[in-house]
Amino acid sequence: MSDLAPFFRLMGAFWVLVRADAVLPRALDPYLPPAARMLARTLRLFAGPQARRGRPGERLAIVLERLGPAAIKLGQLLSTRADIFGQQFADDLARLKDQLAPFPMEVALAEVAKTFGKPISDMFSDFGPPVGAASLAQAHSARLLDGRKVAVKILRPGVEHRIRADIRAMTLAARWAERMGPEASRLEPRALVATVARSLELELDLRLEAAGASELGEVMARDPYMRAPKVIWEGVGKRVLTLAWAEGMALSDPLALEQPGMQRPDLATNLIRAFLAQALDHGVFHADLHEGNLFVAPDAGLMAVDYGIIGRLGPAERKYLAEILWGFLERDYRRVALVHFQAGYVPEHHSVDAFAQAIRAVGEPIFGHNAGEVSMGRILGQLFEITALFDMRLRPELVLLQKTMVTVEGVARRIDPNHDIWAAAEPVVRRWITRELAPAARLQRLMQDALDIFEGLARHAKAPVAPPAVVIETQGANVRMLWFAIGSAVAGGAFLIAALLAR
């Protein structure tokens, strides 16, 4: 029975999509190859009366809402890419960001009282109706007893059950996908689903979201690009989260960018720089930056809400990301290729120079052009062809990063159609490269390596005595590492001194 429920859920989802003509809608017929067009026409034989109602994006939005939280997340991502799917299609999906049907007010009030074990009036002087409803939760405006205006986020009733059902269905679909051949298995479907499932599970505990908002608030405060609302910790529970009120208007509101004094180019630039500064400088970033989670005001700039999905990068991934971006900025495609090989993104049996040539074919047509002059759909298609040509596999640890980069770039395009992503990224990437790859930084890391080895030797000296051969072999390796680190540090110091004298 364990596999039957996910199977029927998948079949039910596919049938709902077919009935609404949302798998391969007739609007796509002119762009489909003959085989796909024939498949679309066959599926359309089973379409219901709803297949003729409304536009493809409207029908898909209705279906995704019915299918539940995981499907809604997909719709949110698609809605940020008007450049790929068309403006009307993206606009029709936009309501999935924060305009879903709310659950009843009495249910929300009961949940808050249950979470904190006391009446609403003991915490809030006023508690308003929902101001936004998304896939997992809805938000209410309220006032604390001291008069401060706050936003109270409450999880949807029964959402945990729906998420668990979605995860089981996605896991089954991933197992099927892996059997479809090498091209499907190259995308690591099971690892991808595991990454998505983990992020969804973490979103179901609002105490973790509060911690993420607090951490990223400290990170954002170090740069002027973006802000986070303050966490009201006495209003935090597993199913309820209270934050200071975000001033301004959500970017999902069509009037948000029409506010007097709004500087669109600056806003788009700050969004790109905020994301890159978080990811590169701190290794932690807001991984759900769609328009419904971004508030804007002419005087206050950008404020991000909804910290349920937090992305993290280790030092190695941050280095690879910075060097790849810097290589593109410098149009040094061989450097970009080398970093891909060093990171293990491209199998070693391929040629670095051939991969650099393929990367050049992507980079040159877009360098120096603004967003309105670049077809992101064409670029993504070309990148996918390159990954297949060079046997590149999906890296699960980078899924949130890649998804966020696609979202952020799409939102920046909507804010400013003439946005130049490279000009926006350059100061943040240059700052990282200058700081982390300078001789002084390398010397500091070498000295830290030496200290780590000394500490390892000290711990080894206190450890129980091992058989003589093992002790001699281990000590010999440690000594060799120690002398290498000391020698490297001395050489690095000499290089730094010579560089300073030369200036």
Q: In what order do the strands lie in the sheet with 301-304?
A: 249-250, 294-297, 301-304
The continuous run of DSSP H or E covering 211 comes out as helix 206-220
Report the chain's C-alpha Rg in angstroms: 26
Residue 118 CA from chain centroid, whole number: 37
DSSP state of 136: S
| 223 assigned to active site | no
CB 50 within 8 A of CB 181: no
Tokens matching residue 109: 């009030």
- In single-letter form, the type of residue at position 149 comes to K
Q: In b/e form, how buried is each residue of 99-108, taking b as 16+ CB within 10 angstroms?
A: bbebbeeeeb
Distances in Å between the alpha carbon of 370 and those of 73, 245, 375, 380? 28, 34, 10, 16
Distances in Å between the alpha carbon of 180 and those of 147, 176, 184, 187? 59, 7, 6, 11
CB 401 within 8 A of CB 311: yes
3-state class (DSSP) for residue 310: strand
CB 296 within 8 A of CB 302: yes
CB 436 within 8 A of CB 322: yes
CA 383-386-390 angle, 5° bins? 145
Of 83, 253, 281, 288, catalytic: 288
Residues recognised as catalytic: 288
